[in-house]
Structure 1
Amino acid sequence: MLPVVLTIAGSDSGGGAGIQADLKTFFAHGVYGTTVITAITAQNTLGVYAIEDVSPEVIYLQAKAVFEDFSPAAVKIGMLSREETVATVVKILKEFKPKWVVLDPVMVAKSGAPLLKEGAIALFKSQLLPLASVVTPNIPEAEVLTGISIKSVEDMKESARYLVEALGASSALVKGGHLEGEPTDVFYDGKEFWVLSGKRITTKSTHGTGCTLSSAIAANLALGYDLLTSVKRAKVYVEKAIERAIPLGKGAGPLNHSWNVKFEWS
């Protein structure tokens, strides 16, 4: 049976992030992608022009339509924008109880535009984080969620521990790309830490990396891999998608989500 994955996130008109990046990632992993659109953004590689939030009623009905017909094996959550949306997603998860929930705390766009209002952060921490199988913040997001200043791998470990033991996530992947040197991520499952190294790639094609990583984790979970293996496989996929990106746009361009896909025309 073809695994089904659901992304609950915003729409990116430039195609590099949000549900557009998620669907491309799902396709590249051989899983069937479904969507709940939380907000419509007007954006490109240079920045965000506008954000229009989708009503809580329509967000809920999108999810209801998907769950009642497709039974997603995993859910990836991205941009939620405001408190009402966070509350609606909490309601969705509690009602439909998906096996896997990958939570990407999308707070700021690559261009610097805020994507999660301050009033929503408290509800995000108290109600949504405890429902996450894994939460995947970058360093600025982890600092906001935990209040811990992160300057080293040890600080990343402390932050990951806090996300799990104090805020209730089942596991945490703190992404270290904002630190100097080679990028290092820290994964904590509540019992053990894994320090996962990568390589820094000099490129402008980095728009949607967080969205792509979290959706790749969700896709791998839907395919039956465990959490740690899913994280490792997702990191490899994203690294190669950055390496093999084709320059597009005038700013921070998109990844090459289909680097591993072979098309046959016959």
Structure 2
Amino acid sequence: MNATAFPPSRGSVTLVGAGPGDPELLTLKAVKAIASATVLLVDDLVNDAVLAHARPEARIIHVGKRGGCASTPQAFIEKLMVQQALTGETVVRLKGGDPFIFGRGGEEVEHLRAAGVAVQVVNGITAGLAAVTSLQVPLTHREHAHGVVFVTGHAKPGDPGTDWAALAQCAHQARLTLVIYMGISSAADIQQGLLQGLPAHTPVAIVQHASLPQQRHAQATLGELCDTLSVHRLGSPSIIVVGDVLQGLAAAQSASMAAEPDAWPVAA
């Protein structure tokens, strides 16, 4: 689509990452963008406390998008952003985590540019990073992990999705940490595929509601992944982390439980 077919935008759109949930993890730039907005389009996973930074007269429109639930159609959200910007509004599209990590931010930027709308992006802390940080575990480590892969467990309809066996082989050979978003509903397929390239004893952590007061987590091995999800009733939104960077967490838990058997529950 040719952008010259549209009138010049009088307003603008900023895609803002609201972070994993804890409102204190907002960047200063995100706070400034939220405070300047006249219209905010807010995703479901955005903490309501973040909206305290909005001006009182700002119009707040909730455009729910949550895995496994009924969601506002993406096409409608994109159309709404364009409409509001072309009428002169300062629009903030407030998204959980980071707009460019499984947030469909790339699609939205392309649509806005094609419509002649000025667009900016403000990064946010992604849930995969917040999840491991809450456990005091790194994503990379000189001894355990030479890199990290962020991957979605939720494929677009009609798309075969990730080749988990191939990814597992790569992760094993290159010593990579796997951070899996939206993988709870397809955990059985993920586990089966990863076991084709990674040992069953590979450490795994599942973190639900990362960074929030209601955060829960469980630690297991790759061979125990699905059983652990079932036993501890961990659901969405959760991050699944796979890799040897979790060895330190396993050692710390073992030491704590040896000293005080009831001090460290598997899911907390």
TM-score by length of 1: 0.30
Q: Which has the larger radius of gyration?
A: 2
- If the length of structure 2 is used for normalisation, what is the TM-score? 0.30
